Amino acid sequence: MHLRITHFLPAVALTLGACNASVDAGRANDGFIEELPEAVAAAAAPYQDLRHVRLLPEDGCYWYRHVGPVETTLLPLRTTEGRPICTRAQPRPPVSG
């Protein structure tokens, strides 16, 4: 099963990269994406606010608005496995040991 997930994520990244131009056109005045691409919504873990998502050009990743007890901040949108959802591949941390 792990092999399938590994193969799925690059496909999502490629699909999302193709949607990149349409994302800017679909932004609301407050900067949040009006209609999240289906592939992003399907990959996102359920505890995140998918109504308030931004695609940041600095890292090419999706971030969602988290309203906490003290402050409201942007957090990286993640898959159920905890991986960030991005339009381009992110560098992997070096393996130690």
> Per the domain annotation, does 84 fall within a domain?
no
What was the pLDDT predicted at 96?
A: 72
* Number of domains the chain contains: 1
Query: Within a domain: residue 8?
Result: yes
Residue 14 lies in a domain: yes
Compute the distance between CA of residue 51 and CA of residue 18 in angstroms, rounded to an integer.
21
Are 25 and 70 within 8 A, CB to CB? no
| 88 is a domain residue | no
Residues 6 or more apart in contact with residue 66 via CB below 8 angstroms: 48, 49, 72, 73, 74, 75
The token pair at 87 is 């339009």
For residue 28, list its beta bridge partners: none
Please indicate, yes or no, if residue 28 is contained in any of the structural domains: yes
Mean pLDDT, range 83-88, rounded to an integer? 93
* pLDDT for res 95: 73
- Asked whether residue 52 is domain-assigned, the answer is yes
| pLDDT for residue 90 is more than 90 | no
- pLDDT, residue 91, reads 64
Domain of residue 24, residue span: 2-76
Residue 24: inside a domain = yes
pTM reported for the whole predicted model: 0.64
The answer on pLDDT for 54 being more than 50 is: yes
Q: Is residue 89 part of a domain?
A: no
The Cα–Cα gap between 55 and 24 comes to 9
